[in-house]
Structure 1
Amino acid sequence: MKALYLFSIVSLSLAALSNQAMSQEAGPSANSARYGYGVVDVTYIFKHYQRFTTSMDNMKKAMESADGQLKSERDTIAEKEQVRTQYNPGAPEFKQIDEEIARLKAEFQLKAGKIRRDFLEREAQVYYSTYQEVSNAVQYYAQQHNIGMVLRFNGDAIDPNNREDILRAINKPVVFQNNVDITPDILALLNRGGTPGGTLPAASAGGGTLK
């Protein structure tokens, strides 16, 4: 009876290990090292990379704060315009307030334009630095797993009722991939902070792996 019991335990353990191995082999990137190439969904990574999403959330809050300051100035101009209506167009008071409104509007346009340019530049820098991090992570992962090429693809589902989705499906460069999607691995690497040392290697000049 004891022997039968032990045999059952061993059998169950082996089955569990076998299922785990099969599960790992059937993972999204299971065949990337075998074939020597992989695909990565950069758009998906941008949506789920914690540092990037935090940066964008912080920028959104800063934009809302700046918009609050601009609203205060818009309200001041609107109040001046309301006061102006109390005078006849030919009155000295009307002319004085009208000139002040023109000055305030010009200053407002300059300030609003500068804020907008600053945010666009900051946003572009965040996107650029994040893409560099993704590229470096892909290069590091590819070198560690003997992958010679990584292609960019989009793993989003296609809506048959959406014309843009259909055109995207027709024009996508990767039509089929057989468990060579390294996206989850790259995302996990980035969210862990990069390589085991905590930093990502700089991509070699001209040696980018995203195609």
Structure 2
Amino acid sequence: MRFICKTAMLVAIMSMTSVVPGKASAQEASPSAGHRVAVVDVAYIFKNHPGIKAQVQSVEGDLKTYDGQLQGKREELKQAAEMLKTFKVGSPEYTSQEEKVASMESKLRLDMARKRKELADAEARIYYENYQRIAAGVKFLAQHYKINMVLRYNSEEMDLEKGESVIRGVMKNIVYHDDALDMTKGVMQYLDQSMAKEQTAARPTAGQTR
């Protein structure tokens, strides 16, 4: 996977005031600063990054389109089954219609299973590819700021009205961290530029369109 030039990326990321420790210069200058740690909210990035959201919405749109097609096929199957009732059991017409209904039902089940797998694979690909981008962004920032370890955390606030939210909050691995250690926004900006670079590279040039 190709990413944009580190020099251009560094200029953009260093311009942010909320990315990674504001104390970076002092700590980098001190050889006795010890190990440095930062945090990143991966779940927040997946949920809020515009590029990732667009990819998920595309899959959801495909699912809605298929649901409409599926409804039509189910109606056809229902009509075929109703027609079967109009024939006398054991007659040639009944046997022929029965085989037709069985074939339609079998094909519908296969189509549904195939589509479910296709959508599941597409969703998995979105998470896989974007996690690779996130990991690359984390590594890029960590290496620049001389960070030894980046921990994943959850910035979601607990909602007393939602039991699952409370449970997730209670089970958080990180109870407290300095906001200056959060590189989430920096990683999101890295994704912006990384995706833009990939889209530009994917566009055919004027000579390639023919």
Same fold (TM over 0.5): yes
Deviation above 6 Å: which 4+ runs of structure 1?
A: none
Report the alpha carbon displacement of residue 85 of structure 1 after superposing the two structures with TM. Answer: 2.3
CA distance in 2, matches of 1:148, 1:32: 15
Report the alpha carbon displacement of residue 110 of structure 1 after superposing the two structures with TM. Answer: 0.9
Which residue pairs with 1:59 in the alignment? 59
How many residue pairs end up in the alignment?
A: 173
Aligned 1:115-134 pairs, distance under 5 A: 115-134=115-134
Higher mean C-alpha displacement, 74-83 vs 36-45: 74-83
Which residue pairs with 2:7 in the alignment? none
Structure 2 length-normalised TM: 0.73
Report the alpha carbon displacement of residue 159 of structure 1 after superposing the two structures with TM. Answer: 1.1
Which residue pairs with 1:78 in the alignment? 78
CA distance in 1, matches of 2:23, 2:132: 22
CA distance in 1, matches of 2:143, 2:73: 55
Q: Return 5+ residue gaps in structure 1 as ranges.
A: 1-23, 200-211
Does the CA contact (< 8 Å) of 2:39 and 2:152 recur in 1?
yes
Residue 48 of structure 1 aligns with an amino acid whose one-letter code is: N
Residue 78 of structure 2 aligns with an amino acid whose one-letter code is: A
Residue 127 of structure 2 aligns with an amino acid whose one-letter code is: Y
Greater Rg, structure 1 or structure 2?
1
Which residue pairs with 1:182 in the alignment? 183
Deviation string, structure 1 residues 120-166 (Cα, Å, up to 9, x no partner) = 11211111111111011000011111111110000011012332222
Does the CA contact (< 8 Å) of 1:77 and 1:101 recur in 2?
yes
Does the CA contact (< 8 Å) of 2:45 and 2:184 recur in 1?
yes
Structure 1 length-normalised TM: 0.73
Does the CA contact (< 8 Å) of 1:31 and 1:178 recur in 2?
no
Residue 83 of structure 2 aligns with an amino acid whose one-letter code is: V
Q: How well do the aligned residues superpose, as a CA RMSD in angstroms? A: 2.4
Report the alpha carbon displacement of residue 193 of structure 1 after superposing the two structures with TM. Answer: 2.4
Higher mean C-alpha displacement, 185-194 vs 150-159: 185-194
Residue 60 of structure 2 aligns with an amino acid whose one-letter code is: K
Identity %: 26
Q: Report which structure shows greater RCO (CA 8 Å, sep ≥6).
A: 2
Does the CA contact (< 8 Å) of 1:55 and 1:126 recur in 2?
yes
Residue 193 of structure 1 aligns with an amino acid whose one-letter code is: S
Which residue pairs with 2:32 in the alignment? none
